[in-house]
A and B are shown apart, each in its own frame.
Chain A
Amino acid sequence: MNPKLLSDIAYLTSAVLFIIGLKFLSHPRRARNGNTLAATGMAFAIVASFIFIWGGHVLHPGTNNGLLIIIGIVVGAVVGTVGARAVAMTEMPQMVALLNGCGGGAAALISTVEFANFMGAKAAGQPVDSLGFGATMFGGVVGSIAFWGSLVAFGKLSGVAEKAITSPVQKVLTVVVFLALIVSIGMSAVAHDSMPFYALLAVALVFSILMVLPIGGADMPVVISLLNSFTGLAVAATGFSLQQPALIISGTLVGASGMLLTLLMCKAMNRSIANVLFAGVGGGPVATAGGGGGAGVKKSHREITADDLAMLLSNVESVIVIPGYGMAVAQAQHVTRELGDLLAAKGVDVKFAVHPVAGRMPGHMNVLLAEANVPYEQLYDLEQINSEFERTDVALVIGANDVVNPAARYDKASPIYGMPILDADKARNIIVVKRSLNPGFAGIDNEIYYNPKTYMYFGDAKNAIGKLVEAVKAQ
């Protein structure tokens, strides 16, 4: 069989496996098989391109390019695999952003090379394929946006400039840069010249920074998902310019499903995509407006000690634990599970309420609690548990903030207005474990701290819960 046909059949197999893999990935029970199927598809695709490159003698003669390809794959595979193995579960969102940036960067680099090839062909007097040329430009621009945008998202999630940064100047600037982007795309499309293309890449850099920087850390998952979809589209574009159907199919699949996933994530937070991208939730001024109800009024809160809290928890019938990112970041999921087990052994009915966007990405908290071996039957999602708070003795809020903020129900000025929340304030007692009274990740104050039913238990979640576990054991 000739190598071209053999590689095409392997590509076809990989496309089928990707589609089935994605289908499985959206079902809880088959998700892991889905990932394995997609990885198998990728193995087929890699073998196919080896056959295509070596069998078709695509390699430029007289160079070590074949060796370089293998070295490149090995280096990237080792760095990627080791990084992915080493990263802590809490830092998954950053990791996904970083890997997505790699993909976007690769697409931008390929487009740059292809662009140089186009220029070479043009100089040699060959006709320029305009679809391929357009796709190359698209891949370059969108790939760059995905690359730089992901790096900014990574930085923000790692704690550099976490808050939303907005100002009228920045908004005007974004619009100006966006227009500049459109104009330079038009110019380089018409001119078929190299200068506008490199200018385009520079403008794409500025644009992606302006686009991502103003967005608050709490909205980062949506942004990463959007950039993920962008990378997919950029990859599809490189498929057009390289005339590789495998890249077109996979890139487009990711582009389309990533876009839908982005919209679904927004829906889970009851927000629109425009609101996420342009509202700048968590910025200084917005946050003050959000907590404005009680601003200026002296608010008082009550504190509780570990011993008193242990006494309370050991003698009630039901406890609902509401874990948030504060728990995850303090690596307190294991002690929290221990606390849950201890209380359950004392006959307390323990449940974990998982808000859809608890943690930093939808579904992140499920992963973290599962890592700590919290029994599956103890996990409840928002719809299942909200009606139970009224009959519950204690709502134990550990490092969560916005997901229990009652302002989301009525305060139209609040940036989280309309987001479904866990009704912790309806429980008979509320315990909030938190480092301080400072507002949470989204930068919004929370009236639940000042609720007369609330006791604050201050401390780093891991130490605080650890002390509580000791106190419960001593009961």
Chain B
Amino acid sequence: MTFISADPSRLLRLFLAGASLSLLLPSSASSQHAPDGRTIIALVDALPVSDAKAVLLFRSRPTGDHIILLPNHGATPEALGGALAMLAEVAQRNDTPTASAVIPIVGLIAPERLSASQRVVWQRLLDEAARQPRVRVGRGIGQWVEVPARRLLN
């Protein structure tokens, strides 16, 4: 094969080029609108904004994680799905890498064509968070799990 019999240094360059490219490319096509960094769901005893159904902390300080705060009593899969949709939208339009946002969501209506399987995924995430030990979350107490957001936006 011509490729194999070529100069070994050329093969090495090709290998390094492929390795560099693989690190630059997103790991799946669906991650085009997924935010960078960790996405965390936290069930908390009290939201920082009363009457909110969820509070999205985009690039929260000090870690830079994206955190979705939900009430540990009454959190719904729709509220989680809406917050994840909001996160994707904010990540897409934000062009200031150091800016953070606090976004209280006070009301939402889910798309009518939302699939039952998508709701099941969100409910499983809430269940998974609820199974975690209660720990300190900010200045309060809660439970949390980390989620790869791109797996939830398909």
Q: Do A and B come from one complex?
A: no
